[in-house]
Amino acid sequence: MNGPFAPTAPPHGGADSAPPAAIDFSTNANALGPSPMALTALATADPSRYPDPAYTDVRERLAHLHRRDRADVVVGAGACELIHRAVRTTGGPLLLLEPTFGEYRYAAAVAGVTVRSARDLDAFGALLGVAKLAVLCVPSSPGGHVSGADVLRRLAAQAKTSGCRLLLDLAYHPLSQQRPPPPADSWQLWAPNKAHGVTGVRAGYVLAAPDDAARLRAAPSWVLSAHGVAFLACITDPAARRWVRTSRATLWRWRDELAAELRACEVPVETGRANYLLARVGDATATTRQLRLAGIGVRDATSFGRPDALRLSAQPPESQAVLRTALRAIRA
């Protein structure tokens, strides 16, 4: 830790300390969830024993799913835990394409690692040579933009030549309208609790080359609960994967309807390929507060460097109608 002041954790979407919002646009979890298969897996998990500390079976299943070796798989108690582990393990500088998920900057501050920021992909590519770890969210958060397969391949090759690890954060990849295959020589960070709509379960995983994966596994970490292990095992089940696949089209439709609703309220909107969008409301913090008082949770994008915008996830038409009414009232 640097000096006497501890870095503060960045805000996240989802629950706050107040009673839960009746309508929640603030997390990007699959609004059709929780997945019934995930719920069954959680209900039948055995909490009476410690999970296997090497997570052998679940790593084997995830390896099979991604056509990799078990040695390439690192499981963690949520993607955030793995983010901190990756930053601590690689050291600095950490290269970020801004704006991005705030946990990366926080992990760097906690680990005493310097951050280099790029504002666009060209600058990102040019800075790979000075970084030990470079992070790209696919799709980006909060913008929902997706870099194409050729761009990812080029960046991965460039990173490899310069001794930098390229980490692709694929938290929302399964719900995206464009899903480029991650290049084999990148690190892949998966957070399946989003696509399966069970963000209360803390479990995620990284795929990396065996030496890197071994270093990540050996680093100090949090253990997974029996429920986290059961959930990760369940996502390898074809029925659970089918459930995610069939949910996508509805989420994209809801996102587009939401964009139309917002534009009808004269709120400019930025949409990418993800199951969320950015609404340019003006004063994001004040609007977030007013909507929260009306029982609606939204994600203030100020901490992403967008004090003018809210990040809103695709939600069903009933929720959109409530948001429209509340926004009209606030703007009036």
> Is 25 among the residues that bind ligand PLP (CB under 6 A)?
no
* Cβ atoms 95, 128 nearer than 8 A: yes
3-state helix, strand, coil in the chain (%, to 5): 45, 15, 40
Nearest to 252 by CA among 181, 147, 323, 176: 176
Q: Which is nearer to ligand PLP, 70 or 84 (CB)?
A: 84
Least Å distance, CB 82 to ligand PLP, is 8
Residue by residue, DSSP assigns 205-268 as EEE--HHHHHHHHHS--PPPPHHHHHHHHHTTSHHHHHHHHHHHHHHHHHHHHHHHHHHHTT--
> Is 228 among the residues that bind ligand PLP (CB under 6 A)?
no
* Cβ atoms 277, 144 nearer than 8 A: yes
Least Å distance, CB 31 to ligand PLP, is 15
Least Å distance, CB 107 to ligand PLP, is 11
DSSP at 93: P
User: What is the amino acid identity at position 18?
Assistant: A
Q: Two tokens at 126? A: 């040019």
Q: Which is nearer to ligand PLP, 93 or 143 (CB)?
A: 143
Least Å distance, CB 78 to ligand PLP, is 3
DSSP at 11: P
Nearest to 159 by CA among 121, 132, 190: 132
Q: Which is nearer to ligand PLP, 26 or 290 (CB)?
A: 26
What character string, x for contact with ligand PLP (CB under 6 A) and - otherwise, covers 61-100? Answer: -----------------xxx--------------------
> Is 191 among the residues that bind ligand PLP (CB under 6 A)?
yes
> Is 188 among the residues that bind ligand PLP (CB under 6 A)?
no
Q: Which is nearer to ligand PLP, 287 or 303 (CB)?
A: 303
Q: Which is nearer to ligand PLP, 82 or 155 (CB)?
A: 82
> Is 204 among the residues that bind ligand PLP (CB under 6 A)?
yes
Least Å distance, CB 79 to ligand PLP, is 3
Residue 198 CB partners (closer than 8 Å, separation 6+): 29, 33, 34, 35, 38, 39, 42, 231
Q: State the Cα–Cα distance between residues 161 and 30, nearest whole angstrom.
A: 37
> Is 147 among the residues that bind ligand PLP (CB under 6 A)?
no
Q: Of 59, 74, 94, 101, which lies in the binding site for ligand PLP, with binding defined by CB under 6 A?
A: 101
Using CB under 6 A as the criterion, which residues of the chain lie in contact with ligand PLP when the complex forms? Answer: 12, 78-80, 101, 137, 141, 169, 171, 191, 193, 199, 204
